[in-house]
Amino acid sequence: MWSWRVTAPGPIGTGPLARSSGPVPEPAPGELLVRVLVCGVCRTDLHVAEGDLPVHRAAVTPGHEVVGEVVALGAAADEAFAVGDRVGIAWLRHTCGRCKFCLRGTENLCPQSRYTGWDADGGYAEYAVVPADYALALPAGYGDDELAPLLCAGLIGYRALLRAELPEGGRLGVYGFGGSAHLATQVALAQGATVHVITRSRAAQRLALDLGAASAGDGPPPEPLDSAILFAPAGGLVPVALGALDRGGTLAIAGIHLSDVPVLDYQRHLFQERQVRSVTANTRADARAFLAFAGRHHLEVTTRPYALAHADRALADLAAGRFTGAAVLRA
């Protein structure tokens, strides 16, 4: 099979990805071998390729929004899946199951956690393997292109919404409007929220309004916010978002990487019990809850398709903000 590998982490314009060929991987005990049908392109893939995240596996194959078909089962693999099933492979792929974080339901904080496309080869390839316990059943009613972004963009947006503690019928600010934000916005709207989107992209503003946002622009929201989510990896927006919060409001920062945050003014940004929370991956319980929600409430998934052979171009376009929604690679 052939795959893409991060051979020289650095700016996307320097060509950090290279094509590679090798044997089809063998599923180890407890694993599934999956033929990749579609793999979403996530900003985390860009962070891995550009070296914003430290190297965990040399020459790793990125990609953790994988929709594929099970073609083989390793010994003692979970009987929940069979050859021919359509499954999802997401970012979280291993936790210890024994530490205090796993035992209290926050396995995403497990010190021994490992991740697809960072610690292990991912979906920018013709085939991938995944521990059966971390493979995800997928909801009906979606095509492969639509499902792929749900497996990280959707999951992280859902987790960020939980972390933002949006009250029922509350006012949510969304800062940045890419693949994750356009899905989280729909979840919030389905739950009865009023959503204000802050983005410089005119195309993203139009998409936000089409999806039902109450406002979309590049200035302050028109009313105080109960909660906000920062999707753009720009630390300079943290004080901006905090300044837009009402008393008792919460800002959730959804990215795995963020540029430096400026000095905050305590009275203006944090006083009156405003709070800042980070988001660290998702749990499998989050994933199942979100995918069940997506099965009950059909989400409009805006995608930009690329051939797998053009993964480097897709990442460059993502870095330059050349599309709205989420890019997907078709094998």
Is the same domain home to 140 and 285? yes
Is the same domain home to 142 and 288? yes
Beta strands 215-217 and 127-131: pairing type? unpaired
Is the same domain home to 177 and 251? yes
Is the same domain home to 70 and 141? yes
Q: What is the CATH number of the domain that holds 211?
A: 3.40.50.720
Q: Are 255 and 230 in contact (CB under 8 A)?
A: yes
Is the same domain home to 6 and 98? yes
Domain boundary, last residue among 258, 278, 298: 278
Residue 2 has what pLDDT? 96
- 193-251 confidence digits (pLDDT tens): 999 999 999 999 999 999 999 999 999 999 999 999 999 999 999 999 999 999 999 99
| Predicted structure pTM score | 0.92
Over 90: is that where the pLDDT of 325 sits?
Answer: no
Is the same domain home to 146 and 183? no
Looking at every residue in the chain, the average pLDDT score rounds to: 96
Q: Which amino acid is at 153?
A: A
Is the same domain home to 143 and 23? yes
Is the same domain home to 268 and 285? no
Is the same domain home to 9 and 140? yes
Is the same domain home to 127 and 205? no
Is the same domain home to 294 and 268? no
Residue 78 has what pLDDT? 73
SS3 string of 66-111? EEEEEEEECCCCCCCCCCCCEEEECCEEECCCCCHHHHCCCHHHCC
Torsion of CA 105, 120, 290, 278, to 10 degrees: 60
Domain boundary, last residue among 278, 296, 322: 278
- 100-134 confidence digits (pLDDT tens): 999 999 999 999 999 999 999 999 999 999 999 99
Residue 76 has what pLDDT? 81
* 257 vs 225, higher pLDDT: 225
Report the distance separating Cα 209 and Cα 186, nearest Å.
Answer: 11
Residue 255 has what pLDDT? 86
Q: Per residue in 251-266, is it b (16+ CB within 10 Å) or e — as a string?
A: bbbbbbebeeeeeeee
Domain enclosing residue 171, as ranges: 155-278
Residue 208 has what pLDDT? 96
- 262-312 confidence digits (pLDDT tens): 999 999 999 999 999 999 999 999 999 999 999 999 999 999 999 999 999
Is the same domain home to 140 and 174? no
DSSP 232-260: SS-TTHHHHHHHTEEEEEEEEE--S--PP
Instruction: Tell me what the mean pLDDT of segment 22-51 comes to.
Output: 96
Over 90: is that where the pLDDT of 145 sits?
Answer: yes
Q: What is the CATH number of the domain that holds 143?
A: 3.90.180.10
The DSSP bridge partners found for residue 68 are: 36, 87
Domain count of the chain?
Answer: 2
